[in-house]
Structure 1
């Protein structure tokens, strides 16, 4: 009897076990299958992921990449609510990153006079005359974008290759005018603006007021100001221009976000912001308007601001929308205004070497504090001397605090003209060059006049030499110095031609980037320049869902039609934020 009871008990245990197993299997089979939010397929998808460089399809889940690979496997993640985007032969890449620009300058360029495409001094006069008609009495007229080296010809009255103020003053006698050079390193003022700044146009009794360390007031044969203020001398005028209103700041911000989306830009390295801009960005993020991944550099002009941030340390945003972990130092000027700091004098002005606009002692001090407090240091340098001096200060700081040197990724912004001896030092020190390829297209035709053939060929726009040395290059446009258009900078990267397609074969063609290198410089390498390669820059599972879709294949389209490429769609944070209007 006992044996029968034991046998019955064992059968019951087995039966219960089968029931449990069946329930588990049933639970697994009825569990809801994970499905994506968005499925994209139907055209070449360049991932910038070396393990999976080109894929058929991408699936996102909310704001992250869920899958990147074959369409067959992607379809398995498709559910009834999954949105499908058929590329219809168009091309997708990771979301593009503007590696060096000025975000509020971009927005304000759309509000103020945009002179970037002017081809003559008369066009500028005409634009200001039109603005005068619309302005209130006494209202300041401001703009940006003129560049005397891009004009068809200089006006008859010119000094050191710059125009003089008389024509500008004649068409705007009652409205002060200040027009910033395309480079941002010089400005042009009319008589009314100089009068409000307290600069007498008659007599030389106040000439001491025209002397500014780290800058220059261009004067005529009589010693009178021509209206052109170079580098730090610009503050003689700019400190008298009324500050922008909060309402106008918000308007400029929103215009800049929209401009980024139109151009396929999902990330932006903002090269130098102050406390007012930080407050604005915080406000925009809190209101859900930060439609761009902002990587901001603190302006080095405000020492109090830097000291405040040294105490609290970097702010790496867990939402990856507004991060502050770097410092921007402006160490020399621009080549166009002859402000770039050179080892040898300018070929077209033999008594002039450019300007050291920030003491090198401060570069060393900031480098040490950057190491101590976890901040990346990003120094503007265009001339070969500025680049050398900054590399020297970085190296000295690294040697002084070797225990704190650990993937600091210090940068030099522009790194435009280098002495050959300094090219390998970037890789040796781990210093990232953030270079804007489109500057070659704009500047190279006249840059040879400033530097001469030898310096141009041995050290100007040395992209391939730097890449081969083992350091990545971060690309961009320096907007609003150049238009935000990344296609133009991509074209310059791979052709080294002007945007008109000259010269045949490109300038110094050995320094061209390959198309893959150029795309990396706008995606994965740009992300690396901001310590963000783990979350963006490639179409890799787990990274953020930021994509740019083009109407043709950047990697294969013939060179002569490359500039015709247009952005069809921009996807930011897993959402379509821009679609090209149907014509």
Structure 2
């Protein structure tokens, strides 16, 4: 009788247990790096209405919640949705519509790819991107002679991998009305023996841009969808596009609103009069998928094309200092104007001269203003005495693979002393407290795992150099993951909605093929994003 009584009591108590709360999705048995303030590890979480509603052990979550969608991660590693803090998302998509020149090992290979492309596509204006003379045996700029022979009647514009130089043929020069007497400030029309070679660095490129046919809306939509597919394949859930025009931003917004584009975009508005007049007056534009609150400004050019502005001349080109794309006085006035708005100023600065110009302009414009989070994009070569500027709330937005791409020739450009302040990610972190990490794709590859590897190992995929490149400025794995998640979100004013796996935040997460925090260093580049979720739904 007593046993029957106890059983009845237990049955009654169990029937009184609170019913489990039904949610959209539950993940259990995972190795979760939450990237919260304690960098906690957890096993499970629940998702409802696109947000994390609980994070804990598998037992805790399953005791309180139920769902028709339960993922047993079987011990696999999960990290917050990865953020690329500096890239060219739309540019990546548009690159899928032109000749792919990335990875070419000679000018002859460039020409072969252009010929093959044109035979298939028969374009009225041939475009390509991705060549880099530093990867060739002959590490000199090419000339237009062979392009002129192959395409005497069709304009050709081939963009260097960093986006800071064109190689064009004579037909393109004629249409753009560029000749040996053309003068334009902020770049170079490269000449040999007084004759134009076909290489245009920085500012003169706008004259070619003016004659390139505008892509149709259909092509632009396809470009955005192609870029999204590539980003999802690599585990990215948010991309910071460093320089977009109003028409492209509005196209992205319309596709997101229609459910045809689901990746989240932090859009930096390109620095044009039309864009600034519109956006600075309109104010911040924010949806769940789109954030428009910053202006992208170009300080100088790139180191690879010797367009970066240096305080002293290039070690491998005496008398050449590079050039400011935006004049010093204009940088200063832009900073003042943007500081009067709610917008962030994000300025491309590669050379030590460009960096100090930008840092001084920021300091002056932000006097007395709090929490503006202005960024220096790249912050690539810094004079030792200038690192202190980053202690004033300025955020360095850097790209680790630039270090491992440039390390073969960067010291040739900069010399033994100046190279010590280049690609100095750890020093920047020590001063700023945070670094936002990106790739600058399509200048570099899209993979965030290559970013992670370059950040912690400072080596190329051939394990070069032995011991790593300038390892004093390598980041730890924890610092690197933060730079690709919570610190990147912070740099976008989005740390309260993404960047970590915490209650109330958007359920953006990635299931990885291995544990990124412990896998052997040389295996990091082989990691894969097995599943990518945005707002708790599989990204597609």
TM-score (norm 1): 0.88
Does structure 1 residue 435 correspond to structure 2 residue 406? no
Question: Does the 8 Å CA contact 1:335/1:382 hold for their aligned counterparts?
Answer: yes
SS at match of 1:280: helix
C-alpha displacement at 1:53, in angstroms? 1.1
Aligned twin of 1:135? 121
Cα distance in 2, alignment partners of residues 384 and 52 from structure 1 = 35
Does structure 1 residue 376 correspond to structure 2 residue 344? yes
Question: Does the 8 Å CA contact 1:100/1:271 hold for their aligned counterparts?
Answer: yes
Aligned twin of 2:411? 448
Aligned twin of 2:8? none
Does structure 1 residue 185 correspond to structure 2 residue 169? no
Match of 1:482 among 407, 424, 444: 444
Cα distance in 1, alignment partners of residues 496 and 250 from structure 2 = 27
Aligned twin of 1:16? none
Question: Does the 8 Å CA contact 2:26/2:71 hold for their aligned counterparts?
Answer: yes
Question: Does the 8 Å CA contact 1:290/1:321 hold for their aligned counterparts?
Answer: no
Structure 1, gaps ≥5 residues long: 1-24, 155-160, 200-205, 579-583
Cα distance in 2, alignment partners of residues 277 and 437 from structure 1 = 28
Match of 2:72 among 86, 91, 94: 86
C-alpha displacement at 1:521, in angstroms? 0.5
Q: Deviations over 1:112-165 (max 9, x none)?
A: 1121121221110110110121233x61111111110112334xxxxxx21111
Q: Deviations over 1:163-209 (max 9, x none)?
A: 1111222222332211100000001112222232234xxxxxx5322
Cα distance in 2, alignment partners of residues 83 and 176 from structure 1 = 54
C-alpha displacement at 1:425, in angstroms? 1.2
Cα distance in 1, alignment partners of residues 163 and 373 from structure 2 = 26
SS at match of 1:306: helix
Aligned twin of 2:387? 423
Structure 2, gaps ≥5 residues long: 1-11
Question: Does the 8 Å CA contact 1:95/1:523 hold for their aligned counterparts?
Answer: yes
Which range moves more in the overlay, 57-66 or 376-385? 57-66
Match of 1:352 among 312, 320, 326: 320
Question: Does the 8 Å CA contact 1:59/1:77 hold for their aligned counterparts?
Answer: no
Aligned twin of 2:180? 207
Question: Does the 8 Å CA contact 2:300/2:309 hold for their aligned counterparts?
Answer: yes
C-alpha displacement at 1:510, in angstroms? 1.0
Cα distance in 2, alignment partners of residues 152 and 477 from structure 1 = 26
How has the CA–CA distance of structure 1 residues 112 and 507 changed in structure 2, closer, same or farther, with 3 Å as cutoff?
A: same
Q: Deviations over 1:241-284 (max 9, x none)?
A: 11111110000011111111111000111111112112211221
- For residues 231-246 of structure 1, the aligned pairs below 5 Å read 231-246=202-217
Q: Deviations over 1:208-253 (max 9, x none)?
A: 22x21001111111x1111100001112322111111111000001
Question: Does the 8 Å CA contact 2:458/2:474 hold for their aligned counterparts?
Answer: yes
Aligned twin of 1:414? 378
C-alpha displacement at 1:470, in angstroms? 4.0
C-alpha displacement at 1:538, in angstroms? 0.4
Question: Does the 8 Å CA contact 1:298/1:328 hold for their aligned counterparts?
Answer: yes
Q: Deviations over 1:9-53 (max 9, x none)?
A: xxxxxxxxxxxxxxxx99x95975322221123332111013461
Which range moves more in the overlay, 67-76 or 30-39? 30-39
Question: Does the 8 Å CA contact 1:475/1:526 hold for their aligned counterparts?
Answer: yes
TM-score (norm 2): 0.95
Does structure 1 residue 170 correspond to structure 2 residue 134? no
Aligned twin of 2:274? 304
C-alpha displacement at 1:108, in angstroms? 1.0
Aligned twin of 1:15? none
Which range moves more in the overlay, 47-56 or 263-272? 47-56
Let me know the Cα RMSD of the aligned residues.
Answer: 1.8
C-alpha displacement at 1:286, in angstroms? 2.5
C-alpha displacement at 1:506, in angstroms? 0.5
Q: Which of structures 1 and 2 has the bigger CA Rg?
A: 1
Does structure 1 residue 152 correspond to structure 2 residue 147? no
Aligned twin of 1:22? none
Q: Deviations over 1:346-404 (max 9, x none)?
A: 011111111111022222222222222211110110001101011111111123xx2xx
Aligned twin of 1:288? 259
Cα distance in 2, alignment partners of residues 487 and 116 from structure 1 = 19
Question: Does the 8 Å CA contact 2:85/2:397 hold for their aligned counterparts?
Answer: yes
Aligned twin of 2:225? 254
